[in-house]
Amino acid sequence: MAVSSKDTRIKLVRITHVYYTHKDIEKAHEFLLDFGFQEVKRVGKDIYYRGSSAEPFVYSARQGEEDVFGGAAFVVESESDLVAAQKLPGATQIYELSDAPGGGRCVTFYDPVDNFPFHLVYGQSPHPDEKALPQLDLNFPTDKHRPGNKSQRFQKGPAPVHKLGHFGMCVTDFTKSYEFYTTHFNFKPSETDAALSTAIQLVHDSTGKDVTTFLHLDRGNELVDHHCFFFFEGPESHVHHSSFETHDFDTQLLGHDWLRSKGYESCWGVGRHIMGSQIFDYWFDTSGFIVEHYVDGDLVDDKHPVNRTLASPDNLHVWGPDLPPGFLQ
Phi, psi (rounded to 5 degrees) for 83:
-65, -45
Residue 152 lies in a domain: no
Q: Which residues on adjacent β-strands are paired with residue 75?
A: 14, 121
* 224: helix, strand or coil: strand
How much is the average pLDDT of 277-282? Answer: 96
pLDDT band at 329 (very low <50, low <70, confident <90, very high): confident
pLDDT in tens, 106-146: 999 999 999 999 999 999 999 998 988 899 999 999 999 99
Amino acid residing at 52: S
How much is the average pLDDT of 59-85? Answer: 98
Contact 57, 42 (CB under 8 A): no
Residue 144 lies in a domain: no
Helices (H), the chain: 25-35, 79-85, 174-184, 249-261
Residue 151 lies in a domain: no
pLDDT in tens, 300-318: 988 887 777 666 667 789 9
How many residues are there in the chain? 329
Residue 2 lies in a domain: no
Residue 148 lies in a domain: no
Q: What is the pLDDT of residue 204?
A: 64
Residue 329 lies in a domain: no
Domain count for the chain, please give it: 1
CATH code of the domain in which 290 resides: 3.10.180.10
Q: What is the pLDDT of residue 193?
A: 20
Over 60: is that where the pLDDT of 29 sits? Answer: yes
User: Which residue range(s) make up the domain with 263?
Assistant: 12-128+161-319
Residue 265 lies in a domain: yes
pLDDT in tens, 199-230: 456 676 666 677 888 999 999 999 999 999 99
Residue 191 lies in a domain: yes
pLDDT in tens, 166-188: 999 999 999 999 999 999 999 96
* 189: helix, strand or coil: coil
pTM: 0.93
